[in-house]
Structure 1
Amino acid sequence: MNNLKIRNVLPEELDCITEIEATCFPAAEAAPKNVFKERFSVFPEGFFVAELNNEIIGFINGGVTNENHIQDEFFETMSLHIPNGDNIAIFGLDVHPKYQKRGYAKQLMKHFIESAKKSDRKNVLLTCKNHLIEYYKQFGYINEGVSESIHGGAEWYDMYLELK
């Protein structure tokens, strides 16, 4: 039986994380290794990997803010991160394509939400493309419509999950 283990990322795993990101997102949207390195150094407690049979197959990561929407700058730098902020923003939820549609992303999301609750956050924020709105609604996220985000030149939708 395959056992999925969700745990915090380790610094030596950032190359693998970067490869998965490049597989899951177009180049204009994918975060490079230096961005993951900064996210890890600033907020490692918000960076989780999914490990299956000793192989990293996916991850979820984010940062904390008092804003109600994710600023595009946040995808590139952690300078907007506020450690004691009210809201936690998800920067990416990635599962390698050969492991998709097996519930692993769902497990990562549930783990992230539970971690946010334990950290006493008020909301979880994310942006997604139109075809993923229904997916995120299953967790209780509310769609706020088209985002002001122009990250990667794509059209994004702002969503939030109220925790309190």
Structure 2
Amino acid sequence: MYKYLTLFFSVTLFCCGCKSNSVPNKFIQPNAMTGLLVQIHLIDGSLYNNVQVQDTLYKYGMGKYLAAFKRFNTDSAQFRKSLVYYSNDPDKLSAIYDKVDLRIKAMSDSVNQVQAKERTATHKADSLRLDSIKKANMKPKTAAQKADSVKQLKVKQAINLKRDSVKKLNHRLKPNAVPIK
């Protein structure tokens, strides 16, 4: 009798210890769940960036969510059931969300690269435009412009001479002043 009890408990323990890692067919498979969660989170992000007026999320969001579910051949009820199933197995859910995180980061990096290329292209265009403006300003001056600039230079020199003479005069009027060289 002792042998039968030991055998019974051993078989029971062995059967309970064997756990299947496969996901039942009634739930969304991990790869499809990863893609669906990426789409759901992208839709959430786009909706929360819009101006939120009453019923905005319902008005604009339902169509986007339904399109995502249709793309993955599922519906919201099956998505909820699958999410509950994966929530009961944290290791599987963590693995799925690691993949979701990687995919969203890859998308973000590609968008950032495109934006950086656009910024450099606009920067180059702006710098070329500024260079052409500078070159236009650096054209050789005509004789009239040169004569005008010579007149302006003479006026500036005259003003500077007057300032110097005023400084010397003020300095001479002060007692114990050290002469300016």
- Same fold (TM > 0.5): no
TM-score bracket for this pair, using the shorter chain length: under 0.3
- TM-score normalised by L of structure 1: 0.24
Larger Rg: 1 or 2?
A: 2
Bigger helix share? 2
Structure that is richer in strand per residue:
1
